Amino acid sequence: MSEWKAKRFWKQADCVECDGGWQVQLDGRPVKTPAKAPLVLPSESLARAIAAEWDAQDENILPLTMPFTRSANAAIDRVVPQKAEVTEMLAAYGETDLLCYRAEQPVELIQRQAAAWDPLLDWAHESFGARLNIHNGVIFGAQPEDAVALLGAELSKLDAFQLTAIHDLIAMSGSLVLGLAIIHGRIDSSDAWELSRLDEEWQIEQWGRDEEADELAAKKREEFMQAERLFQLLTPQ
Structural domains of the chain, with CATH: 13-65 (3.30.2180.10), 82-234 (1.10.3580.10)
Q: What is the pLDDT of residue 2?
A: 43
The 8-class DSSP code of residue 104 comes to: S
Low-confidence residues in the chain, pLDDT < 70: 1-5, 236-237
Residue 61's pLDDT is what? 85
| Residue 26, φ and ψ in degrees, nearest 5 | -105, 110
pLDDT on residue 236: 67
d(CA 9, CA 146): 53
Q: What pTM was computed for the model?
A: 0.92
Q: Which of 104, 79, 40, 77 is nearest to 168 (CA)?
A: 79
CA distance 162 to 59: 32
The model's pLDDT over 158-198, given as tens digits with 9 standing for 90+, comes to 999 999 999 999 999 999 999 999 999 999 999 999 999 99
